[in-house]
Amino acid sequence: MQRQTMQRQIILKALKELSTHPTIEEIYADIYKEYPTISKTTIYRNLRQLAAKGIIRRASLLDGLERYEERTDQHYHFKCKNCGSIFDVEIGYLEGINSMVQKMYGFEVYGHDVVFSGVCTKCK
C-alpha cells in the first residue's frame, strides 16, 4: 500500500473541489493559491502515480490535454463546443464493443473512450 503523503492529500482535495476534469495546469494553479511552495513537478508526479494506482483516473478527451478526475469507473464524456465545459455522461459503459472490435480486427482491446461533442444546455 502506498502511503498517503500530505502532497497527495492536497492534490486529491483539489481534484475533488475542481470536479471539472481539470488539466494538470489547472490543478497546479488551484493548489498554488494555498500552497505556493509546492512544485509543479510534485503535482505531475503524484497525479500520474495516483492514476497508475487507480485512485484517480486520467480522462481521455481527445483535446491533447492531460486531464484528471476523481471518478475511476469506465464512463463517457460530453464536451461543449461553445464554453468548453466537460460533463460525465450517465449511460452504461458498452463492454460489448471491445470484444466486437477484437473479433473483427484481431486487436487486443483493453477499453475504449467516447467523447460526445455539441452544445450544452447552458449554451443552447
| Per-residue model confidence as pLDDT tens digits over 46-75 | 999 999 999 999 998 878 889 999 999 989
Q: What is the pLDDT of residue 1?
A: 45
Q: What is the pLDDT of residue 4?
A: 67
pLDDT, one tens digit per residue, over 79-122 is 999 999 999 999 988 889 999 999 999 999 988 889 999 999 99
Q: What is the pLDDT of residue 3?
A: 60
| Domain boundaries defined on the chain | 6-69, 76-118
The average pLDDT across 10-32 equals: 94
Exposed (0-12), middle (13-18) or buried (19+): which is 22, by Cβ within 10 Å?
Answer: buried
Please determine, looking at this structure, whether the domain spanning 76-118 carries the CATH number 3.30.1490.190: yes
- 68's CB contacts (< 8 A; 6+ apart) are 15, 21, 22, 24, 27, 47, 51, 56, 57, 58, 59
The average pLDDT across 10-15 equals: 95
| The CATH number of the domain covering residues in 6-69 | 1.10.10.10
pTM of the complete model: 0.82
Q: How many CB atoms are located within 10 Å of the residue 43 CB?
A: 23
Are 11 and 48 contacting, i.e. CB atoms less than 8 angstroms apart?
A: no
